[in-house]
Structure 1
């Protein structure tokens, strides 16, 4: 008895031994799968006014030359996208926006950056870096989405003073997206995490970003300042990259992000 090369350890069946599958209706497409090998092909029969016939399942050895097209694997949304999809955030003019409406979910790529809050000085620095990287994202066909904790008014203040594009900036006053992603929160993460030491080598970029800084961009709800951010990269609804900021100023490397989306 011959060995089955596509599934080692299993014997190949002759054509006489292949199972029969009934096609009960005309003008229908069925996926026929051999029970002896994990390969499937689509069997399609178009006819009119004839009695049901029997079609043999296609063996793996003949799959490459079969006239039937291979079935396509179904793509499922990542758990991160599912957690965010129905959440409402707000544009800088106060208009509500569903997360699932921010980019092309078929195959579009998106970089979604979460700032701590709009009054965070180190978030102004990160936003300035995102602003400078936006032309590269645009040329790669990538949608940039930047979300911060605070009101649309807080978002406008940062956008006008930094400056930053209002078209890609969104407010999450209730931290709903942050909670859904389980981003870090608390006094320890905000003020005492060792990861925050990274800012010591970035004084020049911080000073430049804060040239027109104002504390007026800070949310009135002071508990919001304890929120940490992060960054995610999606292709459609699939997650390509995810990073939680360990502490204040611990931002994702945009060079690494650009490599992922390019």
Structure 2
């Protein structure tokens, strides 16, 4: 697959007339396997249900999963003289992802760091996002190429960081939190995903051990720390491409927090 052809001299000045993005919110972790993409998708869906015009940029260039979560087929992006038109989910979320450029969803994207960074810049600058209240950016694990590209080239307003109860996850997530501090990006919420399982009697079972959210308190300041339980229904909906059918009060709380945060780019 080739990189997207860019004609900056033609597109970008005209795109500025169309694109008005109120806030850019990162969903990141540093650690893989914590359900970060699911949280990003749920958050975008919740924002859209609350009436916010919402976009979702899948910055996991080599391992994208956002289209699958929403049931969007490969080849769902369309291009024109002005730029790319994002795919749109049934709930109205505008999505851009490398898997929407492929003919088959399981084709590998074998790209080095510079091309990954260039693609993220193009997803941001060459897409006709239109007027958005919030653009969610789903970052891949780690704090290297994709994270650096987003932090350097996008007007980031804040971040939601995702972890899990394991102490190892917390150790890696500390790296992401320190990166945000170094870049002076506000932490808006810390989410502990798969925090516990509620059995048929209503008892909470800590499947992956006790919470370690308090161990990260020195890096989270006053940002809310939110626990999300293990939900088999979420896994089933994600596999079916129906993540928008899942409503979680914890996610709605984060979405309401984002909507109440003044946008730096009105």
TM band (smaller chain) = 0.3 to 0.5
Higher RCO by CA contacts (8 Å cutoff, separation 6 or greater): 2
TM-score, with length taken from structure 2: 0.32
TM-score, normalised via structure 1 length: 0.32
